[in-house]
Structure 1
Amino acid sequence: MLTNPVYAALTGPHSTIAEVRGNARRYPTAIAPFLGLPGNPTDQDWADAAVLLGPGTSAALMRPDLPIPDAFKLDRQFDLVQFVAPPTLAAVDDEAVVLGLDDVPEMLALVALTDPGPFRSRTIELGTYLGIRRDGELIAMAGTRFALPTHTEISAVCTHPLYQGQGLASRLIRVVAAHITSTGRTPFLHTGGTNTTAIRLYKSLGFTLSNEMMVTIVEPV
């Protein structure tokens, strides 16, 4: 399940928002750019994925590397590492506030400034997002994205460059983890395989490496 989190989410807790053709699943493009396929996709699964995406539309697979059929072109690919949280991570923080639809423009602006990964106009629909404000300005945020039957992903962890180094990301990760554990699930997260700063932070919080994977961006030919 953790080696194929997009498919696990789109066939599990996020099945109600999945766009589906055969065994292929995807999030609506305004929510997230991810495509989900079974663990060992067949030719028919790939054919369904091509129809589901449509010509000229790319999508990201998040899983261990797999051969890409000739019906798709590989746009780009990069290493990804996955970590699972320790049971002692959760904490409360009075400064963290729940973010809502009215906050999305500020969230999108913060993401554009910091590039924590895909966050789109409707990504907030995937879970609970928390933020920290200073003088009314959103300066840090984190939230939940992929919901699996037993795990929920911490995502969109970012801090405004002017406020980095103050431990805001760590604080928000702990609060989001508390929300996840209250639902009976285990927090986990992903980061780029070369993002040494993030990897160092997660290890310092007690996260343990669970999988090494790839993000593979494909497009039907």
Structure 2
Amino acid sequence: MGNRDGVALGDPVGESLRGRHAHLARRFGRAVGYLPDVASFCAVSADPDPAEWADLARLLGPGELADMFSSPATPPPDWEQVFTLEGRQMTWSGTGRPAPRREAEAEADAEVLELGPDSVPEMLDLVERTRPGPFRPRTPELGTYLGVRENGRLVAMAGERLRPPGWTEISAVCTAPEARGRGHALRLIDALVVRVTERGERPFLHVAEANTGAIALYERLGFRTRERVTFRGFRTP
């Protein structure tokens, strides 16, 4: 992996906000974050000084969540830690299209559909029921989101989130409890990998360390662990 890839994946939030997601960003000084109804993530430089933390506090406002994602930067001591979660960053190791799936791994009649703005209420309902991670009303503007319907109802989805140079993150992979075990997540990730690689980019993703089932699925699909990360959030003073 080249040095530029290491920079992009080492700071995927900042690299996205300063690049392809600049139109979805808010800024103050050297601090940057997503618009509140798009995503909770924000970013500072790799070695921020007190003035940069002050910029971030001004950007977010007092008593607000600073979702630092996987940034290892530590804020001043008067910033209250809200959460910490161990996880890993995984990158797709293959080239070209994903390997064909066995028929037993997914139902042939489950069509993968692109989800548009009219699907957002259903997407938010599915997220509420499955809790795949942060997802807000304008999160679908980050990239393409795909879904599977059963009897007209959205039961599974996955989409594109962070977009550092040369990469696209696959995120919001979720399936309703009543539709699990039918290969929907596998089919959706396959479809997204095809889309990303056809653009000349590489897929990557993040997953909680405790989610062993998801890690096993991603490994089956050709994803390999790049590094362990810690997701952290803080409350601004």
Question: Fold match, TM over 0.5?
Answer: yes
Q: Residue 193 of structure 2 corresponds to which residue in structure 1?
A: 177
Kept in 1, the 8 Å contact 2:24–2:38? The answer is no
1:29 and 2:40 aligned: no
Please name the residue that 2:62 is paired with.
55
Identity of aligned residues (%): 41
Normalized per residue, the structure richer in helix is 2
What TM-score do the two structures reach when normalised by structure 2? 0.89
Q: Which residue of 1 aligns with 2:128?
A: 112
The residue number in structure 1 matching 2:119 is 103
Give the drift of 1:89: 7.1
Q: Which amino acid aligns with 2:218?
A: Y
Deviation per CA, 1:184-208: give whole Å up to 9, x if none.
1100000111111111111111101
- Mean Cα deviation higher: 163-172 or 89-98: 89-98
Cα deviations across residues 136-180 of structure 1 (Å, max 9, x unaligned)?
Answer: 000110000001111010010001111111111011001011111
State whether residues 94 and 222 of structure 2, in contact with CA within 8 Å, keep that contact through their aligned partners in structure 1.
no
Q: Which amino acid aligns with 2:227?
A: N
Partner of 1:205: 221
SS at match of 1:70: coil
SS of residue in 1 equivalent to 2:162: strand
- Picking from 121, 132, 152, the partner of 2:148 is 132
Confirm or deny that 1:191 pairs with 2:207.
yes
Q: Aligned pair 1:156/2:163, yes or no?
A: no
- Matched AA of 1:51: R
Q: Which amino acid aligns with 2:186?
A: S
Q: Secondary structure at the match of 1:63?
A: coil
Give the counterpart of 1:2 among 4, 9, 25: 9
Gaps of at least 5 residues in structure 1 are none
How many angstroms apart in 1 are the aligned matches of 2:95 and 2:128? 32
When the two structures are superposed, what TM-score results if normalisation uses the length of structure 1? 0.95
Of the structure 1 ranges 120-129 and 86-95, higher mean CA displacement relative to structure 2 is found in: 86-95
Aligned-partner Cα distance in 2 for 1:195–1:150: 27
Contact kept? 1:89, 1:206, Cα under 8 Å: no
Contact map agreement 1:21 1:48 (CA 8 A) in 2: yes
Q: Which moved more, 1:36-45 or 1:96-105?
A: 36-45
Contact 2:46–2:73 (8 Å) recurs in 1: no
Give the letter aligned to residue 61 of structure 2.
G
Distance 1:202 1:150 in 2: 20
On the 8 A contact 1:62/1:213 being kept in 2, the answer is no
Question: Following the alignment from structure 2 to structure 1, what is the Cα–Cα distance between the partners of residues 118 and 23?
Answer: 24
| Mean CA deviation greater in 104-113 or 176-185 | 176-185
Structure 1 residue 30: Cα displacement = 0.6
Q: Which of 58, 65, 72 is matched with 1:65 structurally?
A: 72
Q: Which has the larger radius of gyration?
A: 2
Task: Verify the 8 A CA contact 1:90 1:175 in the aligned structure 2.
Answer: no
| Equivalent pairs, count | 221
Do the aligned partners of 1:131 and 1:172 also contact (CA within 8 Å) in 2?
A: yes
Amino acid aligned to 2:13? V
